[in-house]
């Protein structure tokens, strides 16, 4: 596939389809592949990590046509992205709302900055899949049946792959970031935990803590390579 010349990188030249709506009614958009879906990449499930959304968007905009085997969700939590909150509009951390065996009710904390104590409270939801964004994402995965899913996050600077898969090893080698089996603390109800319980290979790609310009320079090319050649 040809890449578009740089002057055309301002827009995505084909339309997404909707796979649901957020709590506030924003469309949940997916850019589908032209052929069978082998890989789904999603970004922006945490609204305080917008760099994942625009890195993936910048990669997608370099393509002249839909990738053959890769589906793209630029903002899995559009309410959080537009409001600048980690959680959705109901204060639920969507990455603690998936129906993994270890899901538990109550609150979850996160750090305001990476040096801070983890003491900012969000909810895990009233029950697993209580939120329209998580329900829709799992329905999309059942529809697309990808062979693997990459979840983009920031800023822990690692490739988190419980399966130590070829895809995870490839990304670690390509980015120079460490390949880890977990992020070092429990993440009950996370998308990755749900994937482990359900035989869906999930690789969590954690951008480093870096200026936007640096992230775009270093990681957009990796994402373009994935879109063109998922390798799964
Ligand atoms: Zn995150």
3-class state of residue 216 by DSSP: helix
Query: What pLDDT digit, counting tens, does each position of 223-232 carry?
Result: 999 999 999 9
Query: What pLDDT digit, counting tens, does each position of 116-161 carry?
Result: 999 999 999 999 999 999 999 999 999 999 999 999 999 999 999 9
For residue 161, what pLDDT is reported?
Answer: 97
**pLDDT exceeds cutoff 80 at 5:** yes
Sign of CA dihedral 230, 174, 29, 131: positive
Residue entry with tokens 């089996």 = 181
Helix axes 212-228, 50-60, angle to 10 degrees: 50
3-state SS, 105-169, equals: CCEEEEECCCCCCEEEEEECCCCCCCCHHHHHHHHHHHHHCCCEEEEEECCCCEEECCCCCHHHH
What letter does residue 4 receive in the DSSP assignment?
P
* Residue 186 confidence class, pLDDT cut points 50, 70, 90: confident
Query: What pLDDT digit, counting tens, does each position of 91-119 carry?
Result: 999 999 999 999 999 999 999 888 999 99
For residue 49, what pLDDT is reported?
Answer: 97
* CA of residue 146 to ligand 1 center, whole Å: 21
* Residue 16 confidence class, pLDDT cut points 50, 70, 90: very high
Q: Which of 29, 49, 51, 206 is catalytic?
A: 206
* CA of residue 44 to ligand 1 center, whole Å: 8
User: Which string of b and e fits 166-194 if b means at least 16 CB within 10 Å?
Assistant: ebbebbbeebebebbeeeeeebebbbbbb
* CA of residue 46 to ligand 1 center, whole Å: 5
3-class state of residue 177 by DSSP: coil
Helix axes 212-228, 166-175, angle to 10 degrees: 140
For residue 184, what pLDDT is reported?
Answer: 84
Least confident range of 30-34, 98-102, 179-183 = 179-183
Q: Is 206 a catalytic residue?
A: yes
Report the DSSP beta bridge partners of residue 205. 152, 159
* CA of residue 150 to ligand 1 center, whole Å: 12
Percent pLDDT > 70 in the chain is 100
Task: Give this prediction's pTM.
Answer: 0.97
Task: Give the other-Cβ count within 10 Å of 221's Cβ.
Answer: 14
Least confident range of 23-37, 79-93, 181-195, 205-219 = 181-195
For residue 185, what pLDDT is reported?
Answer: 85
Are 177 and 158 in contact by the 8 Å Cβ rule? The answer is yes
In angstroms, the Cα distances linking 193 to 11, 183, 199 are 34, 12, 10
CA nearest 81: which of 57, 46, 113, 118?
46
* Residue 183 confidence class, pLDDT cut points 50, 70, 90: confident
* Residue 182 confidence class, pLDDT cut points 50, 70, 90: confident
* CA of residue 50 to ligand 1 center, whole Å: 10
Strand 27-30, strand 202-206: pairing: unpaired
Residue partners of 207: CB distance under 8 A and separation at least 6: 49, 51, 52, 55, 152, 153, 154, 155, 157, 215, 219
């Amino acid at each position: 596939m040809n890449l578009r010349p740089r002057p055309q990188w301002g827009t995505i030249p084909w339309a997404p389809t909707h796979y649901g709506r957020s709590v506030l009614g924003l469309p949940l958009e997916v850019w589908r592949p032209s052929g069978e879906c082998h890989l789904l990449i999603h970004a922006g499930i945490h609204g305080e990590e917008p760099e994942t959304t625009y890195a993936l968007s910048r990669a997608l905009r370099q393509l002249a046509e839909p990738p053959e085997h890769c589906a793209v969700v630029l903002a899995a939590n559009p309410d959080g992205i537009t409001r600048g909150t980690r959680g959705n509009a109901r204060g639920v951390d969507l990455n603690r709302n998936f129906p993994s065996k270890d899901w538990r009710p109550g609150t979850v904390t996160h750090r305001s900055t990476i040096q801070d104590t983890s003491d900012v409270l969000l909810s895990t939801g009233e029950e697993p899949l209580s939120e329209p964004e998580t329900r829709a994402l799992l329905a999309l995965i059942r529809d697309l049946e990808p062979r693997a899913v990459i979840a983009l996050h920031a800023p822990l600077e690692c490739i988190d792959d419980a399966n130590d898969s070829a895809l995870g090893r490839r990304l670690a080698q390509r980015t120079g970031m460490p390949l880890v089996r977990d992020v070092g603390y429990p993440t009950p109800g996370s998308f990755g935990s749900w994937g482990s319980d359900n035989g869906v290979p999930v690789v969590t790609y954690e951008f480093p803590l870096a200026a936007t310009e640096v992230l775009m320079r270093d990681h957009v090319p990796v994402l373009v390579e994935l879109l063109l050649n998922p390798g799964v």
